[in-house]
């Protein structure tokens, strides 16, 4: 979890904000994205469908393991702020 926090802060926070703290700027705060989307995080991070809209391609910069840790961080903080059903 701590490693995921660090990875998120160094790679994603400028654009996506801090889950649970703010709602991001113009971009989706990932803490408020559907869990299914975050479950498929690699699909977005490695040459994903949103590259043309400004989401960087992290191929060669992050490993699958890194993305797993970032996912754990996002889901962990998201669970803390998401309204309970």
Is residue 54 a contact residue for ligand HEC (CB under 6 A)? yes
Shortest CB 26 distance to ligand HEC, Å: 8
Buried b (16+ CB within 10 A) or exposed e, 14-31: eebbbbbeeebeeebbbb
Q: Give the number of residues in contact with ligand HEC, rule: CB under 6 A.
A: 21
Q: In the complex, which residues of this chain contact ligand HEC (CB under 6 A)?
A: 11-12, 14-16, 27-28, 30, 33, 37, 41, 44-45, 50, 53-56, 58, 62, 70
């Amino acid at each position: 979890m701590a490693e995921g926090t660090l990875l998120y802060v160094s790679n994603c926070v400028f654009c996506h904000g801090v889950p649970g703290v703010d709602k991001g700027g113009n971009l989706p705060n990932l803490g408020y994205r559907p869990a299914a989307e975050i479950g498929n995080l690699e699909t977005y991070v490695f040459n994903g469908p949103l590259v043309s809209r400004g989401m960087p391609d992290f191929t060669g910069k992050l490993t699958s393991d890194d993305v797993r840790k970032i996912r754990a961080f996002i889901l962990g903080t998201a669970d803390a702020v998401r309204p309970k059903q």
